[in-house]
Structure 1
Amino acid sequence: MYFISPTKGKMHIDKMFEDIMEFVEEDRQSNYRLMVGTDSQPGKSASCFVTAVIIYREGKGARYYYRKFYNKKVLSLKQRIFMEATYSIEIANQLFEKINKTDKRDINIQIHLDVGENGKTRDIIKEVVNMVLGCGFEAQVKPASYGASKVADKYTKTMANIG
C-alpha cells in the first residue's frame, strides 16, 4: 500500500511510518496527534476515495500523506460514509500496530469522519461514530474532522473526474 507525501513523493506505508516517527523524534517534548480521515466523491464511472494521514505536532505544524483509490460500484451516500470510516479504521489499525512496537505508545490516533450536524450526513453521525469508538479510536466530526473534510477532500475534488 502506497501513500503520497506532497514533499517526498510516493512511499510505501512502512516508509510513511518511518517518516512520521522521524518527525516525532525531531521534537520529543511536544504532544502529537495522528489523524486518519477518508473522503469520497462520486465520479462518472466510479467513486474516488482518498485517505489522509496527518501527524500533528500540537502548536508547531504537521505533515500529511494521502492515498487515492476508486470503487466502481454505485454507492449511496450512507454506504460511502461507512466505507470512508472503514478505510480510515483499516489504516489506523495498521499504524496502531506499528506504534505499539515503538516507545511512542502515547501518540493519540483519531479518526476524522466526513459527517456533521449540518447537511445530509447528520442522520448517521451516531452510527458511524459508534463504529469508530467500537474499534478503539477517538472519532472527530465536522468541523473538527479536518483530516477528512479538508485534507482528503482536497484530493477527491481534483481526482473525481478521472474515475
Structure 2
Amino acid sequence: MLGKKIDLMQENFLTGLGHAVPRTMIVGEITRYMREDAGCHYQITIGSDSELLPDKSADFVTAIVVHRVGGGGRYFWRRLERENFHTLRDRIIQEVLLSIEVAKELIEELRAADQAAEGETGETKVMIQEVVGMIRANNFEAKTKPWSYAASKVADRHV
C-alpha cells in the first residue's frame, strides 16, 4: 500500500467552511484568492495528519494551506481512509507520501495554468516560482510538528 501510486487529487477537497471544491478547481481557487491582493507575499504549504481507527485502518487528512503573509489565508482539505496500518511508522510514512504526491500534482497543475495564462499579469508564474523554490527538485523542506502548521493545526483539526 505504501508504494502504490494513486491519483490523490481525484477526490473533492473541502474549504475551511466545509464547501466542496473539485480538485480540478483548486488551482483556480488559489489564483483567484491571490489576485484579491496581488501585492502580498503568499506561501503554499501542504501537510497531512492521521488517526488510527480501532480496525487498524487509518483516517488521513491532507491540507493545502495558502497563507497570505501578514493577512490570513485559506485552506483546502480532504480525508482518505486507508487500511492495514499496524505501526506508527507506517502511518507517518503514509502522511509524508500523501503530502508529497499532492504537492507534485499541485505543481503540475500550477505549471499548466501558468502556460495557459501566458500573456496575462503573471501572478501564477510568481506563485509557481515560490512553490517550486520551496520544493527544490523533490527535496521538500521538511517541517515536523509542531512547526508543520499545515499538518499540526489544519489537517489535525479535521482528523
Identity in percent = 30
In structure 1, the residue matched to 2:63 is 52
CA distance 1:44–1:92, change in 2 (3 Å): same
Q: Which has the higher strand share?
A: 1
Deviation at 1:110, TM superposition (A): 9.2
**Within 2, Cα distance between the matches of 1:50 and 1:44?**
17
Gaps of 5+ in 2: 1-9, 115-124
Normalising by structure 2, what TM-score? 0.77
Letter in 2 for 1:89: I
User: Do the aligned residues in 2 keep the contact of 1:36 with 1:52 (CA within 8 Å)?
Assistant: yes
CA distance 1:134–1:108, change in 2 (3 Å): closer
**Which one of 37, 41, 60 corresponds to residue 47 of structure 2?**
37
**Within 1, Cα distance between the matches of 2:147 and 2:158?**
19
CA distance 1:109–1:9, change in 2 (3 Å): farther
Letter in 2 for 1:12: P
In structure 1, the residue matched to 2:88 is 77
Deviation at 1:134, TM superposition (A): 6.8
User: Do the aligned residues in 2 keep the contact of 1:32 with 1:108 (CA within 8 Å)?
Assistant: no
**Within 2, Cα distance between the matches of 1:79 and 1:8?**
29
**Within 2, Cα distance between the matches of 1:82 and 1:20?**
27
Normalising by structure 1, what TM-score? 0.76
Letter in 1 for 2:44: L
Number of equivalent positions: 136
Deviation at 1:133, TM superposition (A): 7.1
CA distance 1:134–1:86, change in 2 (3 Å): farther
Deviation at 1:11, TM superposition (A): 1.3
CA distance 1:8–1:70, change in 2 (3 Å): closer
In structure 1, the residue matched to 2:122 is none
Helix, strand or coil at the partner of 2:142 = strand
